[in-house]
Structure 1
Amino acid sequence: MDNGDSEDGMVENRVTSVDVARAAGVSQPTVSRAFTPGARVSPELRARVEEAARKLGYRPNTLARAMIKGQSNVIGLVVAYLDNPFYSEAIELLSRTLKEFGYHIIVFTASNDENSVDLAVEDLLAHQVDGIILASVSTTLKLTQEIRNAGIPLVLFNRGQNDPAIPAVTATNYAGGRKAANFLVGLGHRRIAHISGWQGSLTGVDRMRGFLDGLADHGLEPVVCVDGRYDRATAMAATREIFAGPERPEAVFVGNDHMAFAVLEALQHDLGLRVPEDVSVVGFDDVKMAAWRVFDLTTLRQPANEMVAAVVDMMMQLINGKPLERARVEIDSALIERGTTRKRNRE
């Protein structure tokens, strides 16, 4: 039986759950339960229903089910930096984890300005999503109130916010920046630069503040501190300018790995400097590419798997009307030492 058009242009009758029930020798409610995530049905019956559905070419109408239940089983995700490999990894983890709870994600991209984010959220609300995750984008009080008025749970992922009422999951950004400073000073570096994350984001600000405070603990200041805006081209241009002079820094802490890869390229290929012999480089995120031998980047790990698990846990609690134990979750950022920094003197 075909769900599509016939050769004479007539649309044949669609396969229904009743057809599947008849073929599987079960009731129609059993078919519905077999295709409902989390519903109780024996493995044997589920397998029999799925086999009958496969043979008949049946696909459950999730939209109709959502209209009946008043629930779409879709979570909306708004993200700004898809060129940053951290977010491609995180989206894959989010999709996989949410699927275990019977949810799917719909992804909207937005630049980091109020109008772009507002439009993306408006689209998500029109899609009747059950929850919204804002990743790497900031929200305004007006937008937050609009989401609350719609009764839609909201969680921030990797983007802090000054409003303590908004649930958020981040790395320990301030502590991570401080850890980077202590590490580089401990290697003997004194002339240290910082190419920060976008200073319009609390994430970038916190990493920079931690780094500056860490240097101050040793009586030091950065030789230069530049906003890299989480942008590859900006980070490369800043690197060429910072390191072109005779009094170049001995080390640089970069606000994320995406920019750190650009910094490495500018240092080694544009300026002919050796890493780590001439310059030590530390990033932040520990994306999979950081461990590739071509980069071998020393970095602060932002554990995407733990952060995603925390975001999904928060979202499921909110959807089910349960109070959150903690509205703010920070996951520790461990220092991962690789080949872009000097070896420590262990004598």
Structure 2
Amino acid sequence: MSKKSAGSRVTADDVARAAGVSRSVVSRTFTKGASVSEKRRKLVLAVAEKLGYEPNIAARVLAGKSSNVVGILIGPLLNPFLADLLDKLSDRLREEGFLPTLFKVGTDGDVKSVLPFIAQYNMVSTIVMGISPSAQISKVFASQSPIPIVLNLGVRRDVEAAIVTTDHFSGGMLAARALLDSGVTKPAVMTRQVETEIYEERAAGFRHVLDLAGVACARSVVTEGSYEAGRAATLALMAGAPRPDGIFFGNDMMALGGMDALRLDLGLSVPGDVAVVGYDDIPGAALGAYQISTIRQPVNKLADKAVGIIVDFDKQGTTDLTSSLIAPVFVRRKTTGSTGAESV
């Protein structure tokens, strides 16, 4: 037996003839969960490797046959945390024998262009992350698999799906406690104008702790969510009255911009003049020039939980579409005081 020449694709029929088995045995060998004896499976895999055979998964999917494809609908990867979560999720899916397939929405957030393509796939599960799922998205994704999952977009009550998310309300509470423990009396909060649900949850948890402590939220601002937006919004915050002495940034990218606005543009000390707390714990937050205290999202736990739901369904054939809240953790660095609770 030898590999075919370049340009000549090895087919399942070639493997079947070389192994002395039927084509259906080859097909079952490369189909997740299909019945085939261990002896035949090893034979087919050995022959397939020698011939250089690669199963055409796309053809099976487009033909409407069962597959191990998990569709992931995602928006622009502008936040490093989102890229990290996608990376961990993809790795975990592949480890469990699934094929992650990405459907990316552009910067305009319009999903209409990708929905027709999603309908062509017969997927094990579908995951929405990085964009807020509208009724249209949810309906189409739910129709494409028995287990639609909404990943880290807050607790959704208008979507029939398994919800896996960080407890963003608790994350906001942790941020408030960290600022109050730093002696802040005029706290401000900065949120993002997209993915509004999770940012509103973070802000709500933040204000809840302030209310319990009898401290008013001095200022609040909604911005685009980038480094540049965080820097500009911080300058605007500090130019108004009352002037904050502590800021909770809804993500670390805005916090990085805010830090540069406070120190480089305004010549202020952090945390001496203004304490800072971010959210996500992206790699940049730990850089020596910033050392931002932040709320760490449990990226590995989020990925493990989402994939675990799919694995359980694949084995048992049923699952509950429930909500899973995973606790965040406060990471103290140099932009807050030396005390503060590590968890809610």
2:91 partner SS: helix
Match status 1:107 vs 2:94? no
Deviation at 1:262, TM superposition (A): 2.0
Match status 1:174 vs 2:176? no
Match status 1:309 vs 2:311? no
Deviation at 1:195, TM superposition (A): 0.7
Q: Could you tell me how far apart the structure 2 residues matched to 1:120 and 1:85 are?
A: 23
Alpha carbons 2:177, 2:209 under 8 Å: kept: yes
Deviation at 1:29, TM superposition (A): 5.8
Deviations 1:220-249 (A, max 9, x none): 122210013333322221011112468632
Residue among 165, 168, 185 paired with 1:190: 185
Alpha carbons 1:164, 1:327 under 8 Å: kept: no
- Map 1:190-339 onto structure 2 (within 5 A): 190-198=185-193, 201-244=196-239, 248-317=243-312, 321-324=317-320, 327-339=322-334
Q: Could you tell me how far apart the structure 1 residues matched to 2:102 and 2:204 are?
A: 31
Deviations 1:61-88 (A, max 9, x none): 2234446772232222122240111111
Alpha carbons 1:286, 1:302 under 8 Å: kept: yes
Structure 1 residues 103 and 57 mapped into 2: Cα distance closer, same or farther (>3 Å)?
same
Structure 1 residues 231 and 126 mapped into 2: Cα distance closer, same or farther (>3 Å)?
farther
Structure 1 residues 120 and 61 mapped into 2: Cα distance closer, same or farther (>3 Å)?
closer
1:283 partner SS: strand
Residue among 121, 128, 135 paired with 2:129: 135
1:310 partner SS: helix
Which runs of no fewer than 5 residues in structure 2 stay unpaired?
Answer: none
1:117 partner SS: coil
Deviations 1:141-189 (A, max 9, x none): 3443344445553211111323263321111111111121122112211
Deviation at 1:256, TM superposition (A): 1.3
Q: Which moved more, 1:30-39 or 1:124-133?
A: 30-39
Q: Could you tell me how far apart the structure 2 residues matched to 1:70 and 1:345 are?
A: 54
Number of the residue aligned with 1:58: 53
- Map 1:83-162 onto structure 2 (within 5 A): 83-110=78-105, 116-150=110-144, 152-160=146-154, 161-162=156-157
Which amino acid counterpart does residue 131 of structure 2 have in structure 1?
V
Q: Could you tell me how far apart the structure 1 residues matched to 2:64 and 2:118 are?
A: 18
Which amino acid counterpart does residue 117 of structure 1 have in structure 2?
V
Which runs of no fewer than 5 residues in structure 1 stay unpaired?
Answer: 6-11
Alpha carbons 1:165, 1:327 under 8 Å: kept: no
Alpha carbons 1:154, 1:315 under 8 Å: kept: no
1:133 partner SS: strand
Structure 1 residues 3 and 232 mapped into 2: Cα distance closer, same or farther (>3 Å)?
farther
Q: Could you tell me how far apart the structure 1 residues matched to 2:122 and 2:340 are?
A: 58
Structure 1 residues 32 and 338 mapped into 2: Cα distance closer, same or farther (>3 Å)?
same
Q: CA RMSD in A?
A: 3.2
TM (norm. structure 1) is 0.83
Q: Which moved more, 1:147-156 or 1:297-306?
A: 147-156
Q: Could you tell me how far apart the structure 2 residues matched to 1:219 and 1:66 are?
A: 58
Deviations 1:289-332 (A, max 9, x none): 333333322111210111111222233455664131x6111101
Deviations 1:247-297 (A, max 9, x none): 632211011122222222322333333322332211111223333333322
Structure 1 residues 285 and 200 mapped into 2: Cα distance closer, same or farther (>3 Å)?
closer
Q: Could you tell me how far apart the structure 1 residues matched to 2:307 and 2:134 are?
A: 22
Alpha carbons 1:174, 1:206 under 8 Å: kept: yes
* Identity, % of aligned positions: 32
